[in-house]
Amino acid sequence: MTLKPATYAAWAARARKELKAKSVRDLEGEPGGLGHRPAWFSEDVPEGAAGELPGAPPFTRGIRATMYANRPWTIRQYAGFSTAAETNLFFRKNLAAGQKGLSVAFDLATHRGYDSDHERVVGDVGKAGVAIDSVEDMKALFEGIPLDKMSVSMTMNGAVLPVMAMFAVAAKEQGVALEKLTGTIQNDILKEFMVRNTYIYPPKPSMRITGDVIAYTAQNMPKFNSISVSGYHMHEAGATAAQELAYTLADGMEYVRLAMARGLDIDAFAGQLSFFFGIGMDFFVEIAKLRAARQLWAGIMSDLGAKTERALMLRTHTQTSGVSLTEQDPYNNVVRTAYEAMAAVLGGTQSLHTNSFDEAIALPTDFSARIARNTQLILASETGLTGVVDPLGGSYYIEALTAELVSRAGELIAEVEAEGGMSEAVLTGGPRANIEAAAARRQAAVDRGDDVIVGVNRFRLEEEETVPTRRIDNQKVRHEQIARLEKLRATRDGERVAQTLANLGEHAASQNANLLEAAIKAAEARATLGEISAALEAVFGRFAAPVEVISGVYEKAYGADPEYNAIKKRIELFTKKTGRPPAIFIAKMGQDGHDRGARIIATAFADMGFSVRFGALFSTAGEVVGHLAKMEVDAVGVSSLAAGHKVLVPELIGEMAKAGLDDLPVIVGGVIPPRDYDFLYDAGVAEIFGPGTNVLEAGFAVLDRMENKRVNR
């Protein structure tokens, strides 16, 4: 079913007509953001807004009549690291301290469908989440935590089948019936192809898997949310509020159509859909964003044929922004997170995760996680926020912002619908390019000082304080996981495992069976996550996204800036002397698909005049060196956001030395704890750029290294 683009264009036109404010500033890269105006009046409020009630369609003022006055939002901290046993201990401590629900972070090896002993994941096991290779790991993760009483949210997309299968088997073996399980599986594959990149299979079979999970849970797990449509990762990739809102809801529309095409009744399954938004520092816009999301979704679902109020409701989890956290003066992040959490609550979220202040440096410590959790407890217990439903409802400013976001998002949804829906739009790459351009504009505004970041481009400390951070011994965790895998394989019924995996492959090829049901049988037989994923990969293949880099954003933002022109002139001189522009190869190694930082660097450097070669995601050190050997470059840039730098970077430098490429300077950027800087310098790294680095300054530093390399030859 495809709705006419005119539907959304009409929404946009109606909202614009009703919105009397004439001075709302453009979302796209404008300092100060949406609604930058000193005063708002009653004529700015759309007609009808004052008459809306909490708990009634279109739910602008909240999905419950009493909201937090009856029950506060769920405090759900996203966590996972090292082994299942270590994460289980962390969970149980947090639950004892007031946390109300679990939110599981899996490591990147798990996300990408690899067992811990696979050669491609040597630097990823247990680093940015918990390693789950089998049912035994899943059982250890929830040991002592009754799954019939605890709501569990799992951020998983690419490897959703084995993870859901192992969760279901762990519950059964804990004595919990599937129909009693509550929680959410993310299962939002479209945004993976758009921004996050932890996909495994091509888009078409990936959407089939998403549909199978929705269908299976609708029949067997009625209390469990089968999909959490995520705008958070768009937010983190640099999307504007309107982009995050529009593309998230467009994804949701696609999943609803998918379920309806399978014969599911919209009013029966819609209650199992939930959403996930990021909350940044544009305080009032973030509040308005959640209100606009509910209003838009109620209209979308009504147009799609939903009749019940539950089907029209948009229920959402939110998380404070990771990208707003700074490495510089990191205790400021406590304040940032508190403001963002308050915005989420004032916007009417159903559950909330608050980031720890040290997450721009490393995985959170127990100390920082306690502050993050207590931020929510203080909001719920001490501020009075739970005593009033939608306390900003009726505010001239908030109502005008809400209407403006409805208008802008409506226009973007209309564009997606004109392409045939989000599945088609993802393939053409339009939404991704729009988000990437917005991210580059934002970075340019920060670099120029137009957008103030305290402690980064204004009010900087003369000397940064060292912050204690969590350490994960990746190799120790990997060896422990490998030992568990070897024990599992030695004690299971190998013939039974082989048969269940063969059945899974046959079902994948046939198109007629539910793949989650088949995966559960394989998990019960003790097939591993990697084996289940490989059985599907044999049929579907493994997807590799095309690598494209936008240009022109920095050029437009910097214009006649003297420093920008100075580096361009130096690059022109370099080009005249050498016969070609200075060239850098940007590498993403390991299974980390978060590429916002790498793409911003690529975009900015290309505009400065560098020749930029962007490597494929998920590369090994050997694959990077193979590319370097075939091209002439002057430096190698490595982007690392998932804590694998101590393994992957030295491995790359070693492989470069073997290939006779050790004269190329290696530049590392990303989330690197300061305590690891000396380790990387000793390994041969030339420059390290952490979060908050001015991109223009990075350009000068890299060019210096390139010029010195040529002088010293």
CB 435 within 8 A of CB 195: yes
Q: How deeply is 30 buried, as exposed, middle or buried, from its count of CB atoms within 10 A (0-12, 13-18, 19+)?
A: middle
Distance in angstroms (rounded) separating the CA atoms of residues 500 and 169? 15
For the beta sheet containing 687-689, the strands, ordered from the edge strand earlier in sequence to the opposite edge, are: 611-614, 583-587, 635-640, 666-670, 687-689
Distance in angstroms (rounded) separating the CA atoms of residues 131 and 125? 6
Distance in angstroms (rounded) separating the CA atoms of residues 63 and 58? 9
DSSP per-residue codes, 507-560: HHHHS-S-HHHHHHHHHHTT--HHHHHHHHHHHH----PPP----SHHHHHHTT
Which residues on adjacent β-strands are paired with residue 276? 230, 317
Distance in angstroms (rounded) separating the CA atoms of residues 610 and 574? 10
Q: Residue 593 in 3-state DSSP?
A: coil
Which has the closest alpha carbon to 601: 676, 697, 673? 697
- What are the CA-CA distances from residue 470 to residues 141, 361, 368 (Å)? 20, 10, 10
Q: If residue 637 lies in a helix (H) or strand (E), which one and from where to where?
A: strand 635-640
SS (H, E, C) 27-95: CCCCCCCCCCCCCCCHHHCCCCHHHCCCCCCCCCCCCCCCHHHCCCCEEEEEECCCCHHHHHHHHHHHH
Q: Tell me whether strands 101-104 and 152-154 are parallel, antiparallel or unpaired.
A: parallel
Q: Residue 281 in 3-state DSSP?
A: coil
Which residues on adjacent β-strands are paired with residue 227? 273
- What are the CA-CA distances from residue 209 to residues 150, 203, 219, 408 (Å)? 26, 10, 16, 32
Distance in angstroms (rounded) separating the CA atoms of residues 404 and 598? 32
**Cis peptide leading into residue 57 (ω within 30°):** no
Q: How deeply is 126 buried, as exposed, middle or buried, from its count of CB atoms within 10 A (0-12, 13-18, 19+)?
A: buried
CB 171 within 8 A of CB 183: no
Half-sphere CA count of 246, side-chain side, radius 13 A: 30
Instruction: Provide CB contacts within 8 A for 230, sequence distance 6+.
Output: 186, 188, 191, 248, 251, 275, 276
Q: How deeply is 22 buried, as exposed, middle or buried, from its count of CB atoms within 10 A (0-12, 13-18, 19+)?
A: exposed
Question: Alpha helix (H) ranges present in 419-528?
Answer: 422-428, 430-448, 474-491, 494-510, 515-524
Q: If residue 585 lies in a helix (H) or strand (E), which one and from where to where?
A: strand 583-587
Q: Which residues are catalytic?
A: 78, 232-233, 588, 592, 594
Helix and strand totals (H; E) in the chain:
28, 14
CB 186 within 8 A of CB 237: no
CB 181 within 8 A of CB 148: yes
Which has the closest alpha carbon to 153: 121, 188, 115, 108? 188
SS (H, E, C) 547-569: CCCCCCHHHHHHCCCHHHHHHHH
